[in-house]
Amino acid sequence: MSLSAVFTRLVLMSEFTTKYSTLVGKRVEAQYRAADIHLSAVGTLTGDTGKSIFIEERFSQSGKEKTMRVEVPYEYLIRIRETGPREQAAAAPKPILLPSFARSRS
């Protein structure tokens, strides 16, 4: 293989693998498809292999620290965008308070 062919291949590979590398370590929202369903994942972009991205979210549940990781192959990715912590807090669902007469009595 000639030197120019190797260089061209490296340039093409670097363009492909750096597609989302600028977002690694940042909070993102990715919309992707699974069959006929469109899904959304929000968290920190932890990796980009050149074929898929990895999104990780850490949270507390029942007093225990949990981690959820999602792998989204490039071909299923619809859109990815950076989100800030303020934007995420604003988009979080707010609890609904029921009037006292609507609460179940146990």
What tens digit of pLDDT does each residue of 17-76 get? 558 888 889 999 999 998 889 999 999 999 888 889 999 998 888 889 999 999 999 999
The count of domains in the chain is 1
Give the torsion through C-alpha atoms of 21, 22, 24, 28, to 10 deg: -120
What is the model's pLDDT at position 103?
47
Please check whether residue 100 lies inside any domain of the structure. Answer: no
Please check whether residue 39 lies inside any domain of the structure. Answer: yes
Q: What is the mean pLDDT of residues 91-101?
A: 53
Can you give the pTM of this predicted structure?
A: 0.62
Please check whether residue 92 lies inside any domain of the structure. Answer: no
Please check whether residue 26 lies inside any domain of the structure. Answer: yes
What is the model's pLDDT at position 84?
81
Please check whether residue 105 lies inside any domain of the structure. Answer: no
Q: What is the mean pLDDT of residues 70-94?
A: 77
Structural domain boundaries enclosing 40: 3-84
Q: What is the mean pLDDT of residues 77-105?
A: 63
